[in-house]
Amino acid sequence: MNEPTSEPINELRFMSDSEGATESIGAALAASLNAWDFVALYGGLGAGKTAFCRGIVSALGSGDCASPTFTIVREYPTNPPVFHFDAYRLSGEAELYDMGCEEYFSRPGIVLMEWPERVQGVLPDSRIAVEIDGSGEQPRSIRILNLSNSAYAAIKEAAREYIVD
């Protein structure tokens, strides 16, 4: 399931033919992220959601970004901090509340949420969506939706080599 936005606002489309390219597109988005931003990352297993997050986290100055599938959340000591969630193993938002997500959502940080469709009830109305299509050795089609006008312009320039019109 993808972001259920009928009229996407400020949508950018990219083509990525490597994990490194997907990280670079994430890094381009990172420069436009601020505390309290929420990024929902859609895509199947192995699409590249964690790779995209790694690009964001390393652009903000922290290495060592791995999948939080087994821990549900990892916090990175970036400025602002990044709270990287993976809802893959959750049955729904009740389990996310049980693990204490509200403590993270009440602090100034950037939330990255893999498998957001599993926890639809916690998603803020105002959020950036990243949709990644493709798997295995296929190139990935990546869309970023709901960008502010300034983020749209900045990312279009920073990741211009990957832009698809």
Ligand X SMILES: Nc1ncnc2c1ncn2[C@@H]1O[C@H](COP(=O)(O)OP(=O)(O)O)[C@@H](O)[C@H]1O
- Interface residues with Mg ion (CB under 5 A) are 49-50, 67, 114
Q: Is 24 in the site for ligand X (CB under 6 A)?
A: no
Q: How far is the CB of 151 from Mg ion (least distance, A)?
A: 23
Nearer to ligand X, 33 or 130 (CB): 130
Q: Is 16 a binder of ligand X (CB under 6 A)?
A: yes
Interaction residues for ligand X, span 106-135 (CB under 6 A)? 114
Q: How many CB atoms are closer than 10 A to CB 9?
A: 11
Q: How far is the CB of 156 from ligand X (least distance, A)?
A: 19
Residue 57 interacts with ligand X (CB under 6 A)? no
Instruction: Give the nearest residue (CB) to ligand X.
Output: 48
Token pair in block for residue 83 = 């709270």
How far separated are the first and last CA of the chain, in Å rounded?
23
Residue 71, interface with ligand X (CB under 6 A)? no
Q: How many other C-beta atoms are found inside a 10 Å radius of the C-beta of residue 35?
A: 12
Of 87, 89, 92, 85, give the one whose Cα is nearest residue 121. Answer: 92
Nearest distance from residue 37's CB to ligand X, in Å? 19
Choosing among Mg ion, ligand X, none, which partner's interface includes residue 1 (Cβ < 5 to 8 Å by kind)? none
8, with CB counted inside 10 A (0-12, 13-18, 19+), is middle
* Rounded Cα gap, residues 22 and 50, in angstroms: 10
Quickly tell me which residue has 């895509």 as its tokens: 43
Binding interface with ligand X (CB under 6 A): 16-19, 21-22, 43, 45-51, 67, 114, 139-140
